[in-house]
Amino acid sequence: MSIFESVELGPPVEVFALNKACNEDSNPNKVNLGVGAYRTNEGKPWILPVVKKAEAAIVADGSLNHEYLPVLGTDNLTSAATTLLLGDDSEAIKSKRAFGVQCLSGTGALRVGAEFLARILNRTTFYYSDPTWENHHKLFVYAGFTEPRTYRYWHQENRTIDFEGMMEDLGQAPEGAVIILHACAHNPTGIDPTQDQWKQIADLCEKRKLFPFFDSAYQGFASGDPNKDAFAVRYFVERGFELFCSQSFAKNFGLYNERIGNLTVVQKDASTSAAVASQITWLIRGMYSNPPAFGSRIVSRVLNDTELRNEWMECIKAMSSRIITMRKALYDELVALKTPGTWEHITNQIGMFSYTGLNEKQVQILIKEFSIYLLKTGRISMCGLNEGNVAYVAKAIHAAVTRE
């Protein structure tokens, strides 16, 4: 008898199961709106030209080798990533009270930060938005948090942010609770607080003595402007908050499989940096020991070279602009079809995803009858839309919504 016979089959990861089903579907009109990865207007993955340049330069650089990187990553990467987040003129960086830690993309940065908060600071309670990226709950619970709680975020009837509900729920959070906040392009809703609302959130966090943990997966990719997308994090830092922020370079560099990210740590002053960094070093040592090099070399080379960085800025503008164009195209098609309901939220939302407001029954109609693959929550990846399929998708949504 095998010791593994008692192991139960785990449930499939929805987004990957959808991707597999779509790949196996023979319908020539099939559309994949599930996977969170950028696609061109031809429906193909896009390697950023600036990334190709950086890759070629790295391969041609005979001085590079395959030695281990430092546990916390290379300074030229972590410094560039932290500066991208906090700004070139950040007082926190100048005073050395902010530093970065190279991690395994945004997921790894969230996990490392959660491990530190649970193991070193003995935090037990964390809050995440309802809805949120499905991995937030798992990452923090697996790290040792024992009190997962949610705060209201999406108002289904109005199809916008439920700011009043959010503030009411966070207003009841116990002192020291960790609050996961999406820095921009909220996943899955695509709805962000206004700048004034961010200020009210900061007021509440300060009053309740809550610890902000920002998740920044779409800086630059959301609006095309990295500075605009960093407003919330920079505002909290300027207010004097101590905080963590996970950064991913999967979307804004198209480096999905390189697993390159950064955890930015912001403290009251630099005196605690050595101790904090040492404890994070031991946590990483016990998990994966050292970060990989190739993705970090690409991001570092681009962000630290003025010409390459400017070219990257044009790339993220191109990606964000195409997504914005597809939002308007879908909205226009639905309006032209006189599809019941309101659809302004599609163009009001930002970033990779749109929370359509479709229910599970309507989602199943789209999948089974039209081979349009999306999450059961009604979240769609706007990157899956293009000029060749947006009318088809709109007609399918219209059919699902009007089905009795």
Catalytic entry in 46, 215, 229, 312: 215
* Secondary structure class of 135 (helix, strand, coil): helix
Q: Is the peptide bond before 45 cis (omega within 30 degrees of 0)?
A: no
CA distances to 1, 51, 258, 319, 383 from 254, rounded to whole Å, are: 46, 8, 9, 10, 13
Nearest Cα to Cα of residue 348 among 128, 215, 158, 85: 158
372-373/98-104 β-pairing: unpaired
Is residue 192 part of the annotated active site? The answer reads: no
Q: Is the distance from CB of 261 to CB of 104 less than 8 angstroms? A: yes
Catalytic entry in 169, 192, 251, 343: 251
Is residue 215 part of the annotated active site? The answer reads: yes
Structure token pair of residue 174: 């116990």
Taking only Cα atoms into account, the Rg of the chain, rounded to an integer number of angstroms, comes to 22
Q: Distance between CA 28 and CA 395 in Å, rounded?
A: 16
Is residue 196 part of the annotated active site? The answer reads: no
User: Burial code of 112-136, b = ≥16 C-beta within 10 A, e = fewer?
Assistant: bbbbbbbeeeebbbbbbbebbbebb
Taken as a whole, the chain contains a residue count of 404
Catalytic entry in 46, 133, 312, 343: 133
Where do we find the tokens 């972590």?
78
Active-site residues, by number, are 133, 215, 251
